[in-house]
Amino acid sequence: MIYEKLSNIIAIEHVFTPEDRSSLELPATSLAEALPDPVAAYLDGLKSLRSRTTMADALKRAARAAGLEDDFSGWAMLRPDQLTSLRRRLSELHRPATVSLSLVALRGVLRTSWRMGLITHEQFARAIDWGKTLRGSRLPAGRYIEPGEMSKLAAYTAGLEGEYGLLVRGCFGVMFGGALRAFEVCGLVLEAYDPIARSIRLVGKGDKEDVVALQSESTARAVDEWLAARREMTASAPWFFLRTSHSRPSRAEMLSVKWMEHMCLGVAKGAGIARFSPHDCRRTFATALLDAGVDLATVQRLMRHESSATTARYDRRQATQDAAAARRVPAIFDPYATE
């Protein structure tokens, strides 16, 4: 097998430093040329573009932790002890969930290497025997936009003029009113929105098609106003939202997640509130519904989550409730108390 022929040539004692890599008799680029590319085969087998992008980034993260080029495709050549060391190195650099994602991607590449005949089944089994599962957790990412902040945000966006103002209000209309993810907002097409039913048909995470109803009349109005302006544009692009700014009219370009992140940062600064991300709009949507008494199962469906445990992580009420409960008790320690 190709693996057996090259294993006598390539002896990788460690994978983390440039000095170690200089001891290779074949550089990583030569290795990639000598072997069929299991990384490309693994990524091609994933269902959606989003999955391919996510897993490609996870593999690049692992490669950087190993001190290798981003395009290194010779994962099958590493020994089990080197892969275990790589897992430890990843855990030193990243959050547990991030480490887990990189290991899932790496396991997929190793499985593809086995299917391609680059390693035996026994070698594959040994390679993915990482040892004990790394334990650990972090506080949920992101934040909840408080009602007071939301009032400032609404007042600021209401004052934005022109196409840019319509675009911002329309984007927030579908994010706060329908809990759309940033990439879902970017990929919306004109035919996706039903102005009569005030609903949106979209293909979301996991390549699943859903129909999302806008939550309120005000959010639907913001979307309708953008749609009216959008119809007057001569752009032939199919996208529902088109990129624009304060200083120039809309272009026939779809939005990007990066553009939406910058939009949220700019709006937060203009409104005088703490910075927030596009995904914080989903967290705010879920928390507001749960706070209003909507049951978790219903919120799970509206959020389009597979598991209720995922939805529960979007609930940001607990920290506020715990702080309020603790403060109802007289001060346990008062450094300014007098006898």
Q: Which residues are catalytic?
A: 181, 205, 279, 282, 305, 314
Sorted by sequence, the CB contacts under 8 Å of residue 56 that are 6+ apart come out as: 43
| Rounded distance between C-alpha atoms, residue 315 and residue 322, angstroms | 13
Find out whether 237 and 254 touch, Cβ atoms under 8 Å. yes
Q: Give the number of other Cβ atoms within 10 Å of residue 290's Cβ.
A: 19
8-state DSSP, 200: E
DSSP, residue by residue, 251-318:
-S-B--HHHHHHHHHHHHHHHTS----HHHHHHHHHHHHHHTT--HHHHHHHHT-S-HHHHHHT--HH
Cα gap 152→149, rounded to integer Å: 5
Give Cα 332 distance to the centre of its chain.
42
